Chains A and B, each alone.
Chain A
Amino acid sequence: EPEVTQTPSHQVTQMGQEVILRCVPISNHLYFYWYRQILGQKVEFLVSFYNNEISEKSEIFDDQFSVERPDGSNFTLKIRSTKLEDSAMYFCASRLGGYQETQYFGPGTRLLVL
């Protein structure tokens, strides 16, 4: 069964550094999402992406964040200048579209900002 994949599984970075988190959504899916989960807390929506553009973003997704679909398979989340509070698990999700509303989550990237 196809799955969403994410790399790396863990990333440690220094405050102020840029990080890029990578995702490969399920191949025929059209909608892509990033969520984050701070340790012990709920999953929070960051951004949704469809037809090569952002369709919606939350208040968490400020100017430090950007997303890109650089080719036909990858979907990336960039954090330009990381802060301590960006430490979290970042999940990518994808959805087929149309009447198929199920979002399938990747395994996550655990980001630690020191």
Chain B
Amino acid sequence: GENVEQHPSTLSVQEGDSAVIKCTYSDSASNYFPWYKQELGKRPQLIIDIRSNVGEKKDQRIAVTLNKTAKHFSLHITETQPEDSAVYFCAATNQAGTALIFGKGTTLSVSS
């Protein structure tokens, strides 16, 4: 079945710096790749997603890139702010296309 690896597990940056989180997936049939942000004790919230027919997508300070050949996708956050501090999860649809398979998460800490 689908397996999603996520790196790094923790990331500390200074306010204003960029942060990059990388994920790889195993199932070439996966076609949808969302990123979720989870604050402590809260629900995962979608921040950006990308479909397999697109290589890059941007929404203000957040961008996601997808390399289907290499089976990896990345989250880029520019001009980080303290409120960006949270756990970020990448995910990919499984072969059946119904379930999301999550990475282990990256704890991002932005210090001011």
By the criterion CB–CB under 8 Å, are B100 and A45 in contact?
yes
Chain A residues 82-105 with CB under 8 Å of chain B are 91, 101-105
Task: Tally B residues with Cβ within 8 Å of A.
Answer: 23
Interfacial chain B residues near A108, Cβ < 8 Å: 43
- A-B contacts, 8 of them at CB < 8 A, read A31-B98, A42-B89, A56-B98, A58-B99, A101-B32, A101-B51, A105-B44, A108-B43
Residues of A in contact with B (beta carbons under 8 Å apart): 31, 33, 35, 41-45, 48, 50, 55-56, 58, 91, 101-108
Residue interface mask B17-38, A partner, CB < 8 A = 1: 0000000000000001010100
Question: Once the chains are docked, how many angstroms separate the CA of A56 from the CA of B104?
Answer: 22
Residues of B in contact with A (beta carbons under 8 Å apart): 32, 34, 36, 42-46, 49, 51, 89, 91, 93-94, 96, 98-105
By the criterion CB–CB under 8 Å, are B45 and A48 in contact?
no
By the criterion CB–CB under 8 Å, are A105 and B45 in contact?
yes
Interfacial chain B residues near A56, Cβ < 8 Å: 94, 96, 98-99
By the criterion CB–CB under 8 Å, are A102 and B98 in contact?
no
Closest chain B residue, CB of each to CB of A4: B43
Interfacial chain B residues near A105, Cβ < 8 Å: 36, 43-45
